Amino acid sequence: MSHNIHLIAAARPNFMKIAPLYHALNSQQWCKVSIIHTGQHYDANMSDDIFADLMLPEPHFHLGVGGGTHAEQVGKVMMAYEDICLNIERPDLLIVVGDVNSTAACAQVAAKLHIKVAHLEAGLRSGDRLMPEEINRLVTDAICDYLWTPSPDADENLKNEGHPDSRIIRVGNIMMDSYELLSAKIDDEHAPAKYGLENEDYGVVTLHRPSNVDDPEILKTIMDGLVENSQKIKLIFAVHPRTRKSLEQYNLWNELQNNKNLILIEPISYVPFMSLVKSAKLIITDSGGIQEETTYLDIPCLTLRDNTERPITITEGTNKLLKPGALSGYVDQILEGDWVHGTKPENWDGKTAIRIRDIIYGLFNN
Ligand code: UD1
């Protein structure tokens, strides 16, 4: 008997998490796996291009919810996904990944329809409820049947919240599976050359957190820091749509464009982006996934946030949390070679999808 499994893909950081799992499950006779794209991210360079890089098929179902307020997004996703479960295809297992609005929305739909639901990347906590993602993490973990974690700190968080051991399984970090799956393509991509950065030292910048980009004063402080540091090392900045909107709204965009050492580009797909990251001297970001990828690749990462839900990237990896004003001093240190190399955390080994596949097989057969 073939079991139906739904995988939810919603926003850019989800796609690298579902791809290895889709490939591991799609090759199996005992299950039928479908991708449900909620449409939270919809631009080609935030979605379709990344699907293509990750060798994912067209989503089996597309909910097309688009942007909106948090409540609008969550509400629209819940209604559309519930319709699929009730009227088109009820899954035997739903897998949600990460911490975006669609993760919590679809988990709620499944839990209320008594569909078993697993959360991949469970247990991460920043302790900061001002982040929408923290709310999504708490809600999702509270109602999921299976909590698949990437690291020991995540296990501890879940235990401290009273989740029984029987629900928690440490599976490792699925992001590394995507990297390993595509590492040959990433090596062949030579993205730095495409941006005129061949044989040059450079840093890569990404910023999109509302706490950094929505407030004009904070945004201006960060941009001033980037401009200052771009005089020491060229910076290539892949500008997220939310960030671009803010930069234009607060009249910062034109000034940035005139700086030859700060290369502004549109968001780019997974393979070229990882090709840029892989050869970079340093990364400046507020992303969650990039904190992990830089730890895996042993590249110094300066994270412009007060906290992280991924503390292992600090204790074992190359990550450093910074206030925007402290950027310059740390960039100097890195350029002088004064930074601490990390180690790869346990089970960040490219085999997480296979471990999960075996766990799911066990669930259906025991
Ligand atoms: C979402 C996730 C965040 C994740 C991030 C990665 C939540 C609460 N936030 O934030 O956890 O780190 O994705 O990018 O789920 N937009 C476009 N084109 C797109 C996508 C978005 O123009 O393809 C615009 C939206 O219309 C909106 C803004 O960008 O104005 C923000 O998009 P949204 O999906 O609401 O949140 P993100 O900031 O991307």
Instruction: Write the pLDDT tens digit of every residue in 267-297.
Output: 999 999 999 999 999 999 999 999 999 999 9
pLDDT one-digit tens code per residue, 121-140: 999 999 999 999 999 999 99
Query: Quick one: pLDDT band at residue 196, thresholds 50, 70, 90?
Result: very high
Residue 73 CA, closest ligand 1 atom number = 35
Which pLDDT does position 283 carry in this prediction? 98
Q: What is 184-335's CATH number, 3.90.1170.50, 3.40.50.2000, 3.40.50.300, 3.40.1160.10? A: 3.40.50.2000
Q: Residue 348, by phi and psi: left (phi above 0), alpha (psi -120 to 50) or beta?
A: beta
Q: Hey, whose CA ends up nearest to atom 31 of ligand 1?
A: 242
- Mean per-residue pLDDT over the chain, rounded: 97
pLDDT one-digit tens code per residue, 74-121: 999 999 999 999 999 999 999 999 999 999 999 999 999 999 999 999
The one-letter code for the residue type at 272 is P
Q: Which helix (H) or strand (E) holds 31?
A: strand 31-37
pLDDT at 339 over 80: yes
What distance in angstroms lies between residue 287's CA and the mean position of ligand 1's atoms? 12
Rounded to an integer, the average pLDDT of 23-51 is 97
Which pLDDT does position 1 carry in this prediction? 74
pLDDT one-digit tens code per residue, 55-71: 999 999 999 999 999 99
Residues of the chain with CATH 3.40.50.2000: 3-173+348-365, 184-335
Q: Residue 317, by phi and psi: left (phi above 0), alpha (psi -120 to 50) or beta?
A: beta
Q: Is 208 a catalytic residue?
A: yes
What distance in angstroms lies between residue 59's CA and the mean position of ligand 1's atoms? 19
Q: Hey, whose CA ends up nearest to atom 18 of ligand 1?
A: 43
Mutation test residue for ligand 1: of 65, 214, 242, 246, the one with most atoms within 8 Å of CB? 242
Q: Which residues line ligand 1 (CB under 6 A)?
A: 11-13, 40-43, 46, 67, 99-101, 132-133, 208, 240-242
Query: Quick one: pLDDT band at residue 325, thresholds 50, 70, 90?
Result: confident
Sheet containing 202-206: order of strands: 262-265, 234-238, 202-206, 282-285, 301-303, 319-321
What distance in angstroms lies between residue 199's CA and the mean position of ligand 1's atoms? 33
Mutation test residue for ligand 1: of 16, 38, 40, the one with most atoms within 8 Å of CB? 40
List the catalytic residue out of 119, 208, 240, 341: 208
For domain 3-173+348-365, say whether CATH 3.60.15.10 is its number: no
Please name the residues in contact with 72: beta carbons below 8 A apart, sequence gap of 6 or more: none
The one-letter code for the residue type at 308 is T
Mutation test residue for ligand 1: of 15, 65, 100, the one with most atoms within 8 Å of CB? 100
